[in-house]
Structure 1
Amino acid sequence: MGWLRKKKKPKSDIVSVRGAMVLEDLIECCDGKSNPIKFFSADEICKATDNLNEANHITELSDFGYKWYSGKNENHGVILIKKALHRFNDYQEGKFCRDIAVSSMVSGHKSFLKLVGCCLEFKYPVMVYHGVKKHYKLDDISEEPWKRKMKIAEDIATAFAYLHTAFPRPFVYRNFSPKKIILDDDGVARLSDFSCCVSIPQGETFVKVDRIVGRFGYMDHNYKMSGLVSEKTDVFAIGIVMKNLLPTEEETEEEGDISEQEICQMKAFAMLSLRCVGLKGEVPTMVEVAKELKKIQRYLHNDSSSPSSETHFDSPQDISSSSVVLSNQT
């Protein structure tokens, strides 16, 4: 039955098709404005990584869909290389192009991985980022110290706020979970993977999508049930992540040395997470979430201003009880 097999496309054809798709997505996302990125050859990628040598494999970042490598480049020093592990179908090719387009738009912001370019010549596509000495994924949030948890939440809220407000049309991430967070060796959290990012048409507050993607527990009701994506889709997701950042009652008791300031901070943090998922008052915008998280952090550092009344609890038990409420809802 070999005669029924599809004839393989020449590499030049694949590169041309992918290049056209990337250009189309760049034009759509950037409203026709020029947003140049570098296209690497396969030889350049191989040279930078010693032929994708396993010694350069970054196991902390790799997952079921992509393999990450560190490399060196004359013009950019340390680089990160994300290589797909399987051939893409048309839908996946489209997601890859969207990832390139949106990554190129946000690369100048500190809360995102900085895209250098891509390579379209490999059978399995490649993206190239600026690197630092060490990156790792945030697989277990509970192991991070409280101070860092707060900063991670603010970093990601700031990233979402930028997506929602920095462009003529809001962009919604819609596929968020802690595994999308990459930390550098200084503990700075950066958002990656914009393959499922969608834009909301001008004058509208939501957009309907054909495919529901993402982790079920991080999806708001409208998106999960109807495919309606709005800015609240991201607000809900970060609210769930914030809930997971809160210590349990047992963890609080085990710590023993949590200061009164930290207790107040956790109360405000818990209330804000409830607001994000629609269980307490009006759902805030992502800009409001980022500002409130910054304010709560300042309170921990002996700032005279306390967290706002909207994110205040009346008793210490409210920290753990809020987690129970959130768990029942998700």
Structure 2
Amino acid sequence: MAKLRNTVFLYFSCFCMHYFSSSHAQTQNATLKQGQQLRDQDGDYLVSENGLFKLGFFSPGNSSVFGATSNRYLGIWYYKLPNDPDAVWVANPETPIIDTSGVFALASDATLKLIHGGGQISVSDPNQTVSGNVTVSLLDTGNLVLREVTSNGTHGEVLWESFDHPTNTLLPGMKLGINVEAGQNWTISSWFSDQIPATGVFRLGVDPGSTNQLIIWRRDEVYWSSGVWENGTFQNAPEMTRRVDLFEFTFVSNKEDKYFTYTVKNRSTVSRWELNAWGQIMHSTLNGTTWESTEASPCTFNLTNLGALCIEEKPSECRNGSDGLVPVRGYFDGNEILHHDNNTEMTISDCHATCWSDCACIGYKSIYTNGTGCVFMSGEAKFIPNSYFDATYVLNIWNHSKGQDQGLDELRSQITRFGHIYKLKIGERIGQNFRMFSFSEVVAATDNFSSASKLGQGGFGPVYKGVLPDGEQVGVKRLARSSGQGLEEFMNEITLIAELQHSNLVRLLGCCIQGEEKILIYEFMANKSLDAFLFDSTRRKKLDWQTLVNIIEGIAQGLLYLHKHSRVRVIHRDLKASNILLDENMNPKISDFGMARIFGQNESMANTVRVVGTYGYMSPEYAMRGIFSEKSDVYSFGVLLLEIISGKKNTTFLSSNGLCLIELAWELWKQGQTLEIKDTSLDCGSKEEVLKFIQVGLLCVQEYAEDRATMSEVISMLTSDVTPLSDPKQPAYTISRSEAAGSTRTLPDRSSNTASVNNVSITLMEGR
């Protein structure tokens, strides 16, 4: 199955400013007439009409660790982006010119030739006969076209075009496939190496048989197939045609033609497919200053070591998936363990295949600076890392975390794929759609988890803002590495997306599972979390009374859905202000279901030795005895309601008597001064409505669970003016002065358990 990887290459912004500027001066022509020529010298090249592509002489390998070769080639590349890629088309890939004597000419016999000190190379068909005049033009598509010119000066028949002779790159409008009548076979081939654009090991084309699919051949043996083209996509590689917002993908199959092609919907979109030296199809699109690339290949990326090479090889008794070859700068100590193969027909992927099949091999690299030949390391060689040396591919053996592997394997077994859509199977039910993201996609979306993209820090890891290639904004939660708790939370959230869907719950779009990386992708909440407004004196002023009422009622509706109306009953167990997110219209959405528990329909409460949640929001029966139920969430809602009205945290002591928020609200209630707890800056509605909300809050935080209202009762009390309210009983206080100051609390009968406070989610594990 094709795997997806998203890689990002950054360029200087000045290049792209020039690239997209239509006002820069054009001193080069897009067309050569008969008798004209281009020499191998600076400033002598063709530039397409709108400055998108350039044709000229170049030396490939600028991006290689070895640097560019001295050999010269005629090629086409992106204008103002000269070094990546080196070229999208090469006229003489098999016949380099060894010096700068080369001249590209449109000869008087209407053929295209490369003339140099050692002779000449035919670029177009030397046997073609033409009666009239011809020109050769570089188009804004990247196509070099030789065509007749009519007597009135307009373009006539196309005699030859570079699109019919691709090298390693497929541009929009090019074809992969077969034209039976003309005997044309369009394929692209990997370069031999970064410095040698000659035909390499891998070739991509259309299946010449009856199946409508793409195939990669490795030295003429089938290496990978895309799966059948069906409903606008390839069965085994749906990621190749995912960007339907930018591209039109077409597969034509009839008696005369069988080919695949793609076109851009907007002419400003810059895109290419490239078959690289490792047999991977890279579909790259320029997004501002960034190349964003998806990768399709037959290999399975090693989920434990992301640096391992992704190239498909057959397993053997000594290569069983617990190892891989990883590029590392450095050298092996001792020449006695080196074996050289000086064959210049060996590419780096050939070195890899040879080393993989030899159980004694522990590393390899190319001999020559043009990427050919192989050096193999074996025995007890010691590798010395050193950044001043070139990369060597070193055998790396890693250990797996049994617990995490087992958990992730269990999760993977429940995930079903339908094209590029994934669903989670829970029992006999198939849940909501979600998407599996590659780690490289997430890296690109978050600008490599940059500090500028960071939105906040949760109990299990940081949260980032991400932007997907189609412009959609998302929230990215990166769970802590090597954390058993993080894995359990991750699996819990993924499981729940199969069951939950409500306007007051944050929607989980998908996830990323790769090695130790466990990442959740949510819909983006423009106004972040409720606590950012409640407890900030400046931002709180933006919350008028009606907005607060809408937030309170929305949270209540979300909890009611969890407790009563969803297909499974869910206890959230960590409801707090920081877990209420706000969209662009200030609508509240409950988030963070990592600690949630699914209840059976006949269950009313449960007991756990693993207490999770946040002090100040945890009900007393849960914090002290591990008993939780719907009434645990009701208690948390009551705390949150009092925080919204007061603008104060329950974990902060608010008076000279050292009372927390709940204590203070209760004392003021008893004294008949309830409204004094209201935030003085709040522009409230009627006095009666504010009193009602405070009273509901106190009814939710009563000490005994059976005294608290259900969420359906809470909503009725909040939204009705006729529902009678009973007087609240003594509330429970689950926070002490030492806890608010940040000290560790020991729970009764759990002497080995510790917890963090100050509004941070905690986990309490039974001692062993």
Q: Please give the TM-score of this superposition, normalised by the length of structure 1.
A: 0.76
Aligned twin of 2:82: none
1:73/1:79 contact within 8 Å kept: yes
Q: 2: distance between equivalents of 1:23 and 1:310? A: 50
Q: Per-residue displacement from partner, 1:15-57 (whole Å, max 9, x unpaired)? A: 7852523655999994431124211111221232333333322
Distance 1:90 1:38, change over 3 A: same
For 1:225, give the aligned amino acid: M
One-letter identity of the residue aligned with 1:40: F
Query: In terms of Rg, which structure is larger?
Result: 2
Distance 1:31 1:165 in 2: 20
Q: CA deviation at 1:235?
A: 0.7
- Report the counterpart of residue 32 of structure 1 in structure 2: 428
Q: Deviations over 1:254-308 (max 9, x none)?
A: 55975xx52110111122112212379942211222343233xxxxxxxxxx252
Contact kept, 8 Å, 1:37 with 1:116, in 2: the verdict is yes
Deviates more, 1:26-35 or 1:232-241: 26-35
Identical pairs, percent:
22
8 Å contact from structure 1 (residues 25, 101) kept in 2: no
After superposition, the Cα gap between the structure-2 partners of 1:28 and 1:282, relative to the gap in structure 1 and judged at 3 Å, is farther
Measure the CA separation in 1 of the matches of 2:731 and 2:525.
Answer: 36
Tell me if structure 2 keeps the 8 A contact 1:168–1:202: no
Among 445, 454, 458, the residue aligned to 1:63:
458
| 1: CA distance, partners of 2:596 / 2:630 | 11
Partner Cα distance (2:483, 2:451) in 1: 27
1:135 to 520, 528, 539: 528
Q: Which moved more, 1:196-205 or 1:27-36?
A: 27-36
Whichever residue aligns with residue 120 of structure 1, its letter is: I
2:307 aligns with none
Looking at structure 2, the residues matched to 255 and 56 of structure 1 have their Cα atoms a distance apart, in angstroms, of: 32
2:457 is paired with a residue whose SS is coil
1:226-237 paired onto structure 2 within 5 Å: 226-237=625-636
Is contact 2:508–2:523 with CA below 8 Å preserved after alignment? yes
CA distances 1:84-114 after superposition (whole Å, capped 9, x unpaired): 2x323334312210022224432x3111111
Of the structure 1 ranges 16-25 and 42-51, higher mean CA displacement relative to structure 2 is found in 16-25
Show the counterpart of 1:298: none
Choose the corresponding residue for 1:277, options 701, 704, 712: 701
The equivalences for 1:127-206 within 5 A come to: 127-131=520-524, 133-139=526-532, 141=534, 143=540, 144-206=543-605
- What is the one-letter code of the residue matched to 2:586? G
| Cα shift at 1:213 | 1.2
Higher relative contact order (Cα pairs below 8 Å, separated by 6+ residues)? 1
Select 1:41's aligned residue among 438, 442, 445: 438
Residue 157 of structure 1: how far off its partner (Å): 1.2
Q: Is the 8 A contact 1:201 1:207 kept in 2?
A: no
Rounded to whole Å, the distance in 1 between the matches of 2:576 and 2:446 is 29
- TM-score normalized by structure 2? 0.35
> Contact 1:137/1:181 (CA < 8 Å) preserved in 2?
yes
For the structure 1 residues 273 and 76, does the alpha-carbon distance in structure 2 shift closer, same or farther, using more than 3 Å as the test? Answer: same
Deviation at 1:230, TM superposition (A): 0.9
Task: Please report how far the alpha carbon of residue 125 of structure 1 lies from its aligned counterpart in structure 2 after TM superposition.
Answer: 1.2
Partner of residue 493 from structure 2, selected from 96, 99, 103: 99
Match of 1:318 in 2: none
Deviation at 1:76, TM superposition (A): 7.3
Find the aligned partners of 2:645 and 2:589 in 1 and give their Cα distance.
20
1:220 partnered with 2:220: no
Deviates more, 1:118-127 or 1:135-144: 135-144
What corresponds to 2:514 in structure 1? Answer: 121
User: Of residues 725, 730, 734 in structure 2, which corresponds to 1:310?
Assistant: 725
RMSD: 3.5
- Equivalents in 1 of 2:409, 2:697: separation in Å? 41
Aligned equivalent of 1:88:
482
Distance in 1 (CA, whole Å) between partners of 2:426 and 2:579 is: 23
Q: Which residue of 1 aligns with 2:503?
A: 110
Q: Is the 8 A contact 1:171 1:198 kept in 2?
A: yes
Aligned to 1:77: 472
1:292 pairs with 2:717:
yes
Does structure 1 retain, via aligned residues, the 8 Å contact 2:504–2:589? yes
Gaps in structure 1 of 5+ consecutive residues: 1-6, 296-305, 314-321
| Mapping for residues 310-329 of structure 1, pairs under 5 Å | 310=725, 326=731
Output the amino acid matched with 2:478.
Answer: K
Contact 1:38 1:118 (C-alpha < 8 Å) held by counterparts = yes
